[in-house]
Amino acid sequence: MRAQIDAFTYDALPARIVMGAGKREEVAAEVGRLGCTRPLIVTTREQAALGDDVARQFDAGSTTRFADAAMHTPWDVTQRALDAAQTARADCVVAIGGGSSIGLSKAIALRTKLPQIVLPTTYAGSEATPIIGETRDGQKHTQRTLQVLPEVVIYDVELTLSLPVALSIASGLNAIAHAIEALYAADANPVTSLMAEEGIAALRESLPRIVHSPKSVETRRLAQYGAWLCGTCLGTVRMGLHHKICHVLGGTFDLQHAQTHAVLIPHVVAYNAHAAPQAMARIARALNARHAWTGLYELAVELDAPRSLEALGMLESGIDRAVELIMQNTYSNPRAPDAHALGHMLRQAWKGVPPEPME
């Protein structure tokens, strides 16, 4: 018998999702569908060749490439990209890559209102959200506005086949973190919760397979599907403590984004365990584990994922500063942030020891 459904609100995001192998060949058609002809193509330096491949779909001289996207969307990079867009008289942005390229595309759209077409190459999920995070003066600030939501997202599984296994794992755990926070968000709803549990389960199944068969199209397709669901959850409901911590650590200590999520999510789940028992039960079920926090940590061990902030390059001496910043402008969370408890949790995460529920 289905449980009683309480009153809820669900806002569907107005984005066009195109999913399938080889769909990157339809970029020009999607640009035309938006009534545009002069795209600014955004990538990182490492993925500049992908931008060149997409540019071949257009008439010579009608595209401009910007290949300096960087992690955490630093303001100086955004300024240069805005100059490039203005000089080129670009009428849309095409972003190819992970969070760095997509974040820069959003930063451009925020200030120019140019439409975006995004081709993700990782499982980060930023493409599915109306959220932007930007770094200035050593601090990362986020905001939520539909102005940065891409109009079109093209999920071409072939673009993920070359994603290194280690980055695939970290990116996949990052995606799982999105869905986990959606399950205990203050504005959670039955629709998002269904997507969240399905997204976690899809990634729990696919990530170990990627370790053994990284070129498997079917495995990568399942992971991409799970990442889309998890990203959509993040875009639909509000972020919690986990994302606040990751934004602080990434912006202040320049830690790698996906790897920071991978390290922290078992510990934040343990921090919230007693305050969100129903969410914990759904997470454990999706992971096929006894407890949510142990299931996440054991999955990280199985995948040989990063498990300590120390290994990511953070100094233990930075923990007190991190707690100070986390306590400023806190996000909604089932358990109120407590400076002493947060310091203890971050020290556990810094050491990489198994997480424990905290009273």
Residue 358, φ and ψ in degrees, nearest 5:
-115, 135
CA distance 80 to 68: 9
- Give strand pairing partners of 238: none
For the segment 45-101, what is each residue's pLDDT rounded down to a tens digit?
Answer: 999 999 999 999 999 899 999 999 998 899 999 999 999 999 999 999 999 999 999
Token readout for 41 is 């193509």
| SS (HEC) of 41-68 | EECCHHHHHHHHHHHCCCCCCCCEEECC
- Per the rule left: phi > 0, alpha: psi between -120 and 50, beta: everything else, 217 is alpha
Domain ranges of the chain: 16-160, 165-351
Using DSSP's 3-state secondary structure scheme, residue 266 falls into helix
pLDDT of residue 139: 83
**H or E element: which one contains 89?**
none
CA distance 200 to 182: 11
Rounded average pLDDT over 198-215: 98
Q: Does residue 151 carry a pLDDT above 90?
A: yes
Q: Does residue 304 carry a pLDDT above 50?
A: yes
Of the candidate CATH numbers 3.10.105.10, 3.40.50.1970, 3.40.1260.10, 3.30.830.10, the domain formed by 16-160 belongs to 3.40.50.1970
CA distance 289 to 169: 19
> 């990284």: which residue's tokens?
214
Least confident of 259-263, 283-287, 327-331: 327-331
Say if 16-160 and 165-351 have the same CATH topology: no
CA distance 300 to 251: 24
Rounded average pLDDT over 97-126: 96
DSSP line for 282-335: HHHHHHTSSSHHHHHHHHHHHHT----TTTTT--GGGHHHHHHHHTSSPPP-SS
Q: What percent of the chain is modeled with pLDDT above 90?
A: 90
For the stretch 290-316, what's the b/e string if a residue is b when 16 or more beta carbons lie within 10 angstroms of its beta carbon? ebbbbbbbbbbeebebbbebeebebee
Q: Does residue 266 carry a pLDDT above 80?
A: yes
In whole angstroms, how far apart are CA 103 and each of 74, 214, 230? 10, 26, 17
CA distance 196 to 94: 28
Q: Please give the model's pTM, rounded to 2 decimal places.
A: 0.91
Using DSSP's 3-state secondary structure scheme, residue 182 falls into helix
Pairing of strands 139-144, 131-136: antiparallel
pLDDT of residue 3: 58
Contact 355, 269 (CB under 8 A): yes
Residue 2 pLDDT level (bands cut at 50, 70, 90): low
Residue type, 314: M
CA distance 139 to 97: 23
- Give strand pairing partners of 72: none
Count of residues making up the chain = 359
Q: Exposure of 325 by Cβ count < 10 A (0-12 exposed, 13-18 middle, 19+ buried)?
A: middle
Longest dimension (CA), the chain: 63
Q: Does residue 142 carry a pLDDT above 90?
A: no
Q: Does residue 148 carry a pLDDT above 80?
A: yes
pLDDT of residue 358: 75
Residue 249 pLDDT level (bands cut at 50, 70, 90): very high
For the segment 69-81, what is each residue's pLDDT rounded down to a tens digit?
Answer: 998 899 999 999 9
pLDDT of residue 7: 87
Contact 185, 144 (CB under 8 A): no
Q: Does residue 1 carry a pLDDT above 80?
A: no
Of the candidate CATH numbers 3.40.50.300, 1.20.1090.10, 3.10.290.10, 2.30.30.240, the domain formed by 165-351 belongs to 1.20.1090.10
User: What's the mean pLDDT when you consider all of the chain?
Assistant: 95
